Amino acid sequence: MGHRCCTKQKVKRGLWSPEEDDKLLKHITAHGHGSWSSVPKLAGLQRCGKSCRLRWINYLRPDLKRGSFTAEEEQIIIDVHRILGNRWAQIAKHLPGRTDNEVKNFWNSCIKKKLLSQGLDPKTHNLLSLRQRASNKAACKHSQQSSFTVFNITSQARDTDNTMMMAAPVVTFPDNQTMVMQIPSSEPQNPNAAHAQNLNESTIHPYGSSLDTTIVSSSSIQLHGLGNMLYENPCIWDANAIVEAIEEPRAESLQPPQQDKEKICETGNDKFDTDASFEIEGGSFDLDLIESTLVSAAMCRDLSCTMDDFGWNF
């Protein structure tokens, strides 16, 4: 069964030949596509209109960008997907020269696996449960060499009777490392950069206003009171502050264990009281993972409404 529009006439299916591409390209270059349903006839093709449209959009369009996705593009996809979900066409609008189909394929073949290997649910971007993670063990094993879990959320609060209390997220960093984040300073200064320098005050802000880049020019920043921020502000971090790809040398290149055994953000009652200040020294750190994990652990709030609101702006 073909499309309804294709049932009237015999149409060719499957891969496009160079000759067909040439016909379609010449026709649209000369006349535009007008009504897609009339294109096959006018262009001398035995294809249905939908097939022509798809071929043009996904392959023949002159403004298409070829080649593999860059780390920056990948980050944009992840960031926008976190907000919009599988709305590939919307996501693709943030990537000039990329098609929804391309983005979708890249997501399914690469990013999805990458997130799973990091213990993150590709649908929600939250941490997978231990059970879910166990079921993805194979995938993790496969890609462990190119990624690592930045930290784990565990529950270890107990009351005086030694009975388990409500899960209080405890953030344990790998190998008790000092957390490190690097922000480039070579970019042209964005007017927002000045106010963004102090992450505690300004860099973390509602996401939806814009996806335009906010360049943070400071080379070192400290995150104080992060927990309060997360609890008090139903916001999403500005992912554009994430500037270093995670492919940088990882745990082995970080500094040796520091004096602090663990950096712990723990909740008392309903409050996210933290002494955790993330030392920013040399090296790189994946803020995005922190975001995903902390948001999932600390913000037990339904962000979907906010997300939808943000979606309108795209």
Residues making contact with DNA (CB under 7 A): 1-6, 13-16, 35-38, 47, 49-51, 53-55, 58-59, 68, 86-90, 100-102, 104-106, 108-110, 113, 142
Answer for the pair 64, 80: CB distance below 8 angstroms, yes or no.
Answer: no
Q: Which is nearer to DNA, 114 or 133 (CB)?
A: 114
Tell me the closest approach of the beta carbon of residue 305 to DNA, in angstroms.
Answer: 19
Q: Which is nearer to DNA, 35 or 259 (CB)?
A: 35
Q: Which is nearer to DNA, 59 or 148 (CB)?
A: 59
Tell me the closest approach of the beta carbon of residue 215 to DNA, in angstroms.
Answer: 29
Question: Which residues in 38-50 are b (16+ Cβ under 10 Å) and which e?
Answer: ebbebbebebbbb
Tell me the closest approach of the beta carbon of residue 246 to DNA, in angstroms.
Answer: 17
Tell me the closest approach of the beta carbon of residue 87 to DNA, in angstroms.
Answer: 3
Tell me the closest approach of the beta carbon of residue 85 to DNA, in angstroms.
Answer: 8
DSSP alpha helices (H): ranges in the chain?
18-31, 39-43, 49-55, 71-84, 88-92, 100-106, 112-117, 130-135, 137-143, 193-196, 226-232, 287-298, 304-312
Q: Is the dihedral of CA 143, 148, 151, 155 positive or negative?
A: positive
In sequence order, what are the beta bridge partners of 127?
Answer: 120
Q: Which is nearer to DNA, 66 or 261 (CB)?
A: 66
Q: Which is nearer to DNA, 141 or 158 (CB)?
A: 141
